[in-house]
Amino acid sequence: MNGSDIVVRTLRKWTSGKSDKGAIIEVFHRIRDIPYGVLPELNSPVDYRRILDINMGSCTPKHLLMCDMYSRMGLNVLYSVFPYRWAEFEELYPPDLWKLAQQMGPVNHLACRVEISGRYVLVDATVDPPLGAIGLPFTASWDGISDTVLPVLPLGDEELYHPSEADLMPPPDLNENALTFYAGLNDYFERIRHGQI
């Protein structure tokens, strides 16, 4: 089965029997509920579909998938990129992660802008609900009309990209420090989900 097939099959499963608005909301909640984890191999306009098999992904594959699904539903979608720093979450990290976060330079956060009722609504499905327990901002319930919560504090202006420009979005910096940080972050988040913290 190719990647497109799994997206079509999953979209059909998630939205079957729902109204248009109900389907939009369901796709958001299903993608939001995929556990957050940084897996660099999924951060591409092709490989993001593997998030459905792995059931984990960061903002990039989550919103590449969201754009794909909403576009298949006939909605206009833009990618929304915000620069931020991992160090902004100081109070949430254990000391070892905080030290690594301080060494990270600015990175980019990906979300979507979805045209709903004539307005491009911010739709961000990054943070899964269990991570709210440590204070990460997330949208618990979305009405399908309003902007969702943006889980980062932007360092600069939002940049918008058409889906055809996905290859033009700035790639992540995956140096050794970043890979060490992401591995530690993934482990920390898994321990939170399993009630070990």
Give the global pTM: 0.95
What Å distances lie between residue 8 and 52, 57, 70, 166, 190, CA to CA?
Answer: 11, 19, 11, 20, 29
Report yes or no: 134 and 189 within 8 Å, Cβ to Cβ. Answer: no
Q: What is the DSSP letter of 128?
A: -
Average pLDDT over residues 178-192: 96
The position carrying tokens 């902007």 is 147
- For residue 95, the one-letter residue type is P
Say yes or no to pLDDT of 177 above 70. yes
Query: What is the structure's pLDDT at 73?
Result: 97
Sequence spans of domains, the chain: 3-193
Least confident of 13-27, 54-68, 100-114, 166-180: 166-180
> In the structure, what pLDDT confidence band is assigned to residue 3 with cuts at 50, 70 and 90?
low
Backbone angles phi, psi at 137, to 5 degrees: -70, 135
Judge whether residue 1 has pLDDT over 60.
no
Q: Please, which pLDDT band fits residue 121 given cuts at 50, 70 and 90?
A: very high
140 has a pLDDT exceeding 80: yes
Q: 151 and 73 in contact (C-beta within 8 Å)?
A: no
C-beta separation of 72 from 8 below 8 A? yes
List pLDDT tens digits, range 9-44.
Answer: 999 999 999 999 999 999 999 999 999 999 988 888
Percent of the chain with pLDDT over 70: 98
- pLDDT score of 185: 96
- Kindly state the tokens that stand for 4: 């497109």
Q: One-letter amino acid identity for 64?
A: L
Q: Looking at residue 161, what is its pLDDT?
A: 96
Over range 110-132, report the average pLDDT. Answer: 97
pLDDT at position 91 is: 86
- Residue 172 is predicted with a pLDDT of 80
Kindly indicate the confidence band of residue 165, based on its pLDDT and cuts at 50, 70 and 90: very high
Q: How far is CA 141 from the centre of its chain?
A: 16
* Spatial separation of the C-alpha atoms in residues 136 and 177, rounded to whole Å: 22
- Distant-in-sequence, close-in-space partners of 173: CB < 8 Å, separation ≥ 6: 105, 107
User: Which residues face 108 on adjacent strands?
Assistant: 83
Q: Look up the CATH number of domain 3-193.
A: 3.10.620
Rounded average pLDDT over 126-140 = 95
At what angle are helices 20-32 and 59-72 packed, to 10 degrees?
Answer: 160
Q: How far apart are CA 172 and CA 188, in angstroms?
A: 21
Q: What number is the average pLDDT over the span 138-148?
A: 97
Per-residue pLDDT band for 2 (boundaries 50, 70, 90) equals low
Residue 91, by phi and psi: left (phi above 0), alpha (psi -120 to 50) or beta? alpha
Are residues 152 and 109 in contact, defined by beta-carbon separation less than 8 angstroms?
Answer: yes
